[in-house]
Each structure stands twice: as structure tokens, then as C-alpha cells.
Amino acid sequence: MAVETLSVNAQALPSIANSSANPSLPELRELNANREMAITPNNMIAKLAELNSAMAMQKQAIVFSTDPQTGIDVVTITDKNTGDIIRQMPSTEVLTAMENIDLMVGVIFNQKA
């Protein structure tokens, strides 16, 4: 997979940035941001294996999944002995609320209008 590069150049118009009408605003500067992907897919697999081995020592398992109703990524930490969920992010309640918000938007904003 190729490395993602993001370049941003933003310059303010001198007449707006240095206007005497707004002396409390700081002078705007040029912004250059170059970012590369922090982790490659191969590195991600290695890091997940490392995380799972660390969790195994604590008798816990971590599962990455996607909620089918909302499409949001979910991280679940479970007890390996009992299978009980120790922690889920986002929680089930949050996922249910997000699903309900999606349904309400469909009711409130009629697409035929």
C-alpha cells in the first residue's frame, strides 16, 4: 500500500489579516502540513498480534469489529475465562442512540420535499 501524503498550503489575504478594523486578531501565517501514514497495514497486523499477546497474559481478549447497523468500528475487551464483556467502545447504548438518530433524521427530513 502506498504512503498517503497530505499537503496543505493556506495563505490569508494581507488586507484581511492585517486589517486595522480587527486589531485583536493575530496575523495569519502560511501553513505547510505534510503527513505520512503513521502505520502501514503490515505494521498494523504486527501491532495487533503484539497487543493480543499482552492481553493474553492478563487473560483478556480484544476484538475489533464493525457494528452492522451504524457501520461504526467497535473495540470489545472480554474476559477469556468467562466470555464476559469488560469494556466496549463505543458502548452498546451509544450505538443504539446513533442508530435511533439515523432513523429520526429519516423521519424529520423527508427526502421528497
pLDDT of residue 3: 46
What phi and psi values does residue 51 have, to the nearest 5 degrees?
-65, -45
Tell me what pLDDT residue 84 has: 92
Of the candidates 94, 57, 50, the residue with the CA atom closest to the CA atom of residue 75: 94
Partners of 7 in the β-ladder: 34
Show the CA angle centred on residue 16, arms to residues 13 and 17, nearest 5°. Answer: 80
Q: How many CB atoms lie within 10 A of CB 17?
A: 14
Report how far residue 31's alpha carbon sits from residue 10's, in angstroms, rounded to the nearest whole number: 5
Residue written as cell 433524521? 105
Residues of the chain with pLDDT below 50 are: 1-19
Determine the Cα–Cα distance for residues 38 and 16; give it in Å rounded to an integer.
36
* pLDDT for the residue 17: 45
The per-residue pLDDT for 88 is 94
Give the model's pLDDT for residue 90.
93
